[in-house]
Amino acid sequence: MRIRLFARRRPSSALPRPRRAVLAGALLAASTAAVTALPAVAAPPAQCWTPESYALQPGERTPRRATAADRVSQPPPAVAGPAVTGPLSGVIRRVELPKGVKLVALTFDLCETGGQVAGYDGPIFDTLRKEGVPATFFAGGKWLETHPQRAQQIAADPLFEIGNHSWDHANLHAADDSRMSQEILTAQAAIGAAKTASVAACPAAAPVSKLSLFRFPYGSCSAASLAAANANGEVVIQWDVVSGDPADIGAKAIADNVMRQVRPGSIIVMHANGNGKHTREGLPLVIARLRAAGYGFATVSDLIAAGKPVAASSCYIDHPGDTARYDKAADAKAAKAKAAAPATHASADVAAPAAQ
Ligand SMILES: [Zn+2]
């Protein structure tokens, strides 16, 4: 099991500070054979994108209603990977790490529903890059298609990994196997397309192959939809730390929430699509306070590689991140659709408020 040590150079014209060896503290603390530093990884070269192209564009941060001009077509489904079985199956909420290793994974959802174009909360990405902090983004396939340059920049950045957050953020609690395959594999195709496009735009920054990660919209799943996700080759990820960033609680409360729940191996959920009200102000505080407490940062794939995943057999029904209200809404809608048209697949979409 190995962890990548990030010690990369970023041209000063593109970003303010070089990245640092973010895992160094954790690795020094863990003189165990389970953790090994890999050679430094090169940053995407400056000529791939200009500093201006990384900068936030007017109106880009805030989600908005989609217009006809925003329409994107759902790509043909990707081929499913090998079924996930054994310790990686089920719903992974945290990772048990070797004694002395203090790593956490910051995760950000990039949810986008059918009727909207979600935001790109640029300051979050700027902070992560400036601080050299790895992160995992769970992106809707549709989000990737409506944000093509951002998708390429994220895919090309060795600090980041992209997980699957379904095509358009449907509640999949009541989805059958065929619906699950469609949602997962069309989003997987969009992830593949973003990676291919990023290599074309930035050949020196070819994405590293990692685990195929999936996060259920709203954190809502059933035993059947969970099994279908694993059968389609997806490692299902939830969290054990809820930042609470969709609520208007302010930066300090976000950091307080994280620090109250965090422990080594934690997976922390936040949003980078504009659904987080104060995530961009809270993130620097979260990073500073975690560092002060001796934590280093890893992507979810690297966190899993550093230890033993702790998986549940069902999505959350009780806190943290209770999914019961979403589950019930999806079940009710599916039952109604089935009664109205028993020969067709029920749509399990719910117009839920901002959530995971
Ligand atoms: Zn989401």
CA 27 / ligand 1 centre spacing (Å): 32
Query: Residue 221 has what pLDDT?
Result: 92
CA 144 / ligand 1 centre spacing (Å): 13
CA 274 / ligand 1 centre spacing (Å): 11
Highest mean pLDDT among 51-55, 123-127, 207-211: 123-127
Distance CA 178, CA 295 (A): 41
CA 113 / ligand 1 centre spacing (Å): 9
CA 243 / ligand 1 centre spacing (Å): 14
CA 252 / ligand 1 centre spacing (Å): 23
3-state secondary structure 276-310: CCCHHHHHHHHHHHHHHCCCEECCHHHHHHCCEEE
CA 283 / ligand 1 centre spacing (Å): 18
CA 133 / ligand 1 centre spacing (Å): 22
CA 356 / ligand 1 centre spacing (Å): 4
CA 140 / ligand 1 centre spacing (Å): 8
Distance CA 263, CA 23 (A): 16
CA 333 / ligand 1 centre spacing (Å): 19
CA 293 / ligand 1 centre spacing (Å): 29
| Whole-number Cα distances in Å, 1 to 35, 36, 87, 133, 304 | 6, 8, 14, 20, 9
Average pLDDT, integer, range 117-145: 97
CA 237 / ligand 1 centre spacing (Å): 12
Distance CA 105, CA 114 (A): 28
138 pLDDT band (50/70/90 cuts)?
very high
Between the CA atoms of 331, 332, 338 and 344, what dihedral angle is there, to the nearest 10 degrees? -60
CA 194 / ligand 1 centre spacing (Å): 19
Query: Residue 34 has what pLDDT?
Result: 37
Mean pLDDT, the chain, rounded, equals 84
| pTM for this prediction | 0.83
CA 275 / ligand 1 centre spacing (Å): 9
Nearest to 127 by CA among 59, 60, 56, 58: 56
Q: Which residues contact 6 (CB under 8 A, 6 or more apart)?
A: 19, 20, 21, 22, 23, 40, 41, 132, 134, 158, 159
Determine what percent of the chain is predicted with pLDDT higher than 90: 67
E strand intervals along 90-209: 91-96, 103-110, 116-117, 135-139, 160-164
Query: Residue 224 has what pLDDT?
Result: 93
342 burial level (CB within 10 Å; 0-12, 13-18, 19+): exposed
DSSP 104-117: EEEEEEE---TTEE
Average pLDDT, integer, range 138-165: 96
CA 33 / ligand 1 centre spacing (Å): 36
Torsion angles phi and psi, residue 289, rounded to 5: -70, -35
CA 278 / ligand 1 centre spacing (Å): 17
CA 168 / ligand 1 centre spacing (Å): 9
| Cis peptide, bond prior to residue 320, ω within 30 of zero | yes
∠ CA 189-322-179 to the nearest 5 degrees? 30
DSSP-assigned beta bridge partners for residue 312: 91
Domains defined for the chain, CATH in brackets: 24-45+89-340 (3.20.20.370)
96 pLDDT band (50/70/90 cuts)?
very high
Residue with tokens 């609470």: 244
Average pLDDT, integer, range 294-305: 98
Query: Residue 339 has what pLDDT?
Result: 78
